[in-house]
Structure 1
Amino acid sequence: MENTFPVRKIIHVDMDAFYASVEQLDNPDLVGKPIAVGGSSVRGVVSAASYEARKFGVRSAMSGVAARRNCPDLIFVKPRFDRYKEISKAIRNIFYEYTDLVEPLSMDEAYLDVTQNKKGNPSATLIAMEIRKKIKDKLGLNASAGISINKFIAKVASDFNKPNGQKTVPPEEVLPFLEALDIKKFYGVGKVTKEKMYRLGIFTGKDLKSKTEAFLTEHFGKSGTYYYQVVRGSHNSAVKPSRIQKSLAAERTFNENIASEVFMLERLKQIAEEVERRLKKNKIAGKTITLKIKYSDFTLQTRSKTLPHFVSSASLILETVKDLLFQEKMQESVRLLGISISTLNNEQEKKKTLEQNYSVDVQLKLDF
């Protein structure tokens, strides 16, 4: 029986070097120069890098020391998250001019479902161009976009013509596009998985498609089914406009490693108070409390406990965190501590989104 499920028109919009671009926008002296948003100290980490800095191998999550080593002329700029949030909100308001089906992934990227849109424009490609132009004209920032039949392909496509470009993968080109795609460009394939796939002789989408689902699940577990489906253009997740927050966290990296649990408790008290402020700001509470510990050798450990009731006060959070801290002896001195709270009461109000399936095999004449 032939499938007649609809093909969606999805746009993935991704701002170009967002934090760094905002800093260059607000300070013209930084335009054209290699800049890194983040700290340059021994403990500093790069949050974002301008394209000028990326040419020297400077990347987000890189230590400030390594970034400076790669680019001696690198200019470090302190992050201004309130400013980034302000710009992000303005960008999102532009999205809402076209559709209410907007799923933010972060401050600088989002999915838009424009299958049915407020402008009555049948072309997702033209809508993406219009959105990018409006962002540039109103806010002075560049954005890139990917356009296709599902979120997976749209996200992959948005990276193709960066910066300040876009790529459309219409229904009839989906399978050839995926077959020719380098496996490292598949969203969800990280460095470790890429190396494993290379060892198995999987270098392109075509190679991946040649493997059975049984083979992929044998080597990649549940992810194997995901890889089997997406390389065939099957990714049925709808754009979810009301993303439910699943957790809330705060953490601190210390200038010097901490070995004393007394000092750790002092820092954890401050972190718990920050978590409380964020919970109250969002008018939520949670049941599962997790203590995050990063040791001096960079190994990471988490310890969790789920309470029978919802909590939001710093004192109750800290009480549980103390139990978790003393649950077992510290392995090394500590460079970072964090507290997160999940199983939030907002999940009780979650509305299930009806997701429509579709088949790439259906040859539909759509204006992309």
Structure 2
Amino acid sequence: MVKERKIIHIDMDAFYASVEQLDHPDLQDKPIAVGGGGKRGVVAAASYEARKFGVRSAMSGRLASKLCADLIFIKPRFERYKEISGQIRSIFLNYTPLVEPLSLDEAYLDVTENLKGLSSASQIARLIRAEIKDKTGLNASAGISINKFVAKIASDINKPNGQKTVPPEEVEQFLEDLEIKKFFGVGKVTAQKMYQLGIFKGSDLKLKSLEFLENHFGKSGKLYYQVVRGVHLSEVKPERIRKSVGAERTFSNNISSEIFLEERLGHIAAEVAQRLDKNKFSGKTITLKIKYGDFSVQTRSKTLAFYIRDKALILENAKSLLYQEKLHNSVRLVGISITNLKKAGHESVKQEPTTFMGKQLKFKF
């Protein structure tokens, strides 16, 4: 028998936008978007006031302005966001050393055995959210359950400034009732494919055999088969393994010639090399990302026989990928990323295998 773990997923509410409203009281209760509002601008985060108009992160600034005429664009201040994120991380560590940051504004916490000696994970989540509010003035939401997958989904249920606990005995029913598009990791393309196969809710997914899911979704099929039964578990890892290093640029005007892209690639390659050097990584797989004027995205990759970190080698291989085939359209963004990483003095960095758990013991949540 495997002892169930108590996992909390903490997600800050509209983090970047909330920080701006906190630091600038005149922005309180107003629709704001952190990011650029020009023709090339992209929304990094939107306040809840802006979300009421349909403004969302990753949306173009131009579209956001059309949806909300009174939208206020704010330039990002990432150093400030990192500062507050550090304060929040310190709060987490007062409760458990098992904290796995996903980004500046969210993290997993394993509180099965915690520093406060509390038996209720729901109580711990309430205490953490209250302490974040008291020390930073910001609101956080939380999801609590037996694994990271369910906890992350649950944290979105009662947003903003709320929490949702899915105890062990309710996990399978919770997942059966859940719309498939709300399953963490199921994007728009996968969701559409599932709809075509008659899968609209978790209960529909659960009816499909492992063979059926693997035939239609490859390796992910086994994951879907397991998680809908509530048996997926990946440990909370305080030291998350970095899987890629990269950089990209959005141009003020579309570029339609490979020759003009070469210069931009030089600057990006230099930035990637700098980041690799800073983190003492080398990598064997290089990927060129191209976003065209119609917003379609193409990636071109190749894996080398040796590890690289040097700017010249990164640029040389990025150029070869650029000329691998003709451009489909004018280009608005290009990026370079390095994967298949190796830390200096270590073996190559591999993704930790996902593990699964069987029947579990029940205890207080």
What TM-score results when the alignment is normalised by the length of structure 2?
A: 0.93
The 3-state SS of whatever aligns with 2:347 is helix
Distance change in 2, residues 1:330/1:191 (3 Å): closer
Distance change in 2, residues 1:262/1:101 (3 Å): same
Q: What letter matches 1:187 in structure 2?
A: F
Structure 1 stretch 79-88 or stretch 154-163: which is displaced more?
79-88
What TM-score results when the alignment is normalised by the length of structure 1?
A: 0.92
**Among 336, 339, 350, the residue aligned to 2:336:** 339
Following the alignment from structure 2 to structure 1, what is the Cα–Cα distance between the partners of residues 125 and 262? 50
Q: What letter matches 1:147 in structure 2?
A: I
The 3-state SS of whatever aligns with 1:43 is coil
CA contact (8 A) 1:53 1:74 kept: yes
Report the alpha carbon displacement of residue 296 of structure 1 after superposing the two structures with TM. 2.2
Structure 1 stretch 83-92 or stretch 199-208: which is displaced more?
199-208
- 1:129 aligns to 2:126 (yes or no): yes
Q: Which residue of 1 aligns with 2:236?
A: 239
Q: Which residue of 2 aligns with 1:321?
A: 318
Report the alpha carbon displacement of residue 243 of structure 1 after superposing the two structures with TM. 1.0
| Aligned residues between the structures | 363
Distance change in 2, residues 1:352/1:323 (3 Å): closer
- 1:81 aligns to 2:63 (yes or no): no
CA contact (8 A) 1:13 1:143 kept: yes
Following the alignment from structure 1 to structure 2, what is the Cα–Cα distance between the partners of residues 309 and 212? 41
Q: Which residue of 2 aligns with 1:282?
A: 279
Distance change in 2, residues 1:362/1:299 (3 Å): closer
Unaligned runs of 5+ in 2: none
Report the alpha carbon displacement of residue 251 of structure 1 after superposing the two structures with TM. 0.6
Structure 1 stretch 267-276 or stretch 196-205: which is displaced more?
196-205
Structure 1 stretch 252-261 or stretch 185-194: which is displaced more?
185-194
The 3-state SS of whatever aligns with 1:238 is coil
Report the alpha carbon displacement of residue 355 of structure 1 after superposing the two structures with TM. 7.8
Report the alpha carbon displacement of residue 324 of structure 1 after superposing the two structures with TM. 2.2
Q: Which residue of 2 aligns with 1:138?
A: 135
Distance change in 2, residues 1:319/1:357 (3 Å): closer
- Structure 1 residues 76-122: Cα deviation after superposition (integer angstroms, max 9, x where no partner): 11111222122212211211111121111111111111111111111
Following the alignment from structure 1 to structure 2, what is the Cα–Cα distance between the partners of residues 344 and 217? 28
- 1:221 aligns to 2:218 (yes or no): yes
Q: What letter matches 2:347 in structure 1?
A: Q
**Among 155, 172, 178, the residue aligned to 1:175:** 172
CA contact (8 A) 1:240 1:353 kept: no
Following the alignment from structure 2 to structure 1, what is the Cα–Cα distance between the partners of residues 321 and 212? 40
The 3-state SS of whatever aligns with 1:285 is strand
**Among 49, 53, 61, the residue aligned to 1:64:** 61
Following the alignment from structure 2 to structure 1, what is the Cα–Cα distance between the partners of residues 334 and 353? 39
Q: Which residue of 2 aligns with 1:23?
A: 20
Report the alpha carbon displacement of residue 286 of structure 1 after superposing the two structures with TM. 2.1
- Structure 1 residues 26-76: Cα deviation after superposition (integer angstroms, max 9, x where no partner): 111111100011111111111111000000000111111111111000001
Distance change in 2, residues 1:179/1:260 (3 Å): closer
CA contact (8 A) 1:84 1:107 kept: yes
Following the alignment from structure 2 to structure 1, what is the Cα–Cα distance between the partners of residues 204 and 264? 50
Distance change in 2, residues 1:354/1:62 (3 Å): closer
Q: Which residue of 2 aligns with 1:348?
A: 347
**Among 7, 10, 15, the residue aligned to 1:13:** 10
Q: Which residue of 2 aligns with 1:106?
A: 103
Report the alpha carbon displacement of residue 363 of structure 1 after superposing the two structures with TM. 4.7
Q: Which residue of 2 aligns with 1:269?
A: 266
Alignment identity in percent? 67
- 1:43 aligns to 2:40 (yes or no): yes
CA contact (8 A) 1:252 1:337 kept: yes
Distance change in 2, residues 1:173/1:37 (3 Å): same
Structure 1 stretch 55-64 or stretch 195-204: which is displaced more?
195-204
Following the alignment from structure 2 to structure 1, what is the Cα–Cα distance between the partners of residues 348 and 101? 19
Q: Superposition RMSD on alpha carbons, in Å?
A: 2.1
Structure 1 stretch 194-203 or stretch 106-115: which is displaced more?
194-203
Report the alpha carbon displacement of residue 354 of structure 1 after superposing the two structures with TM. 9.3
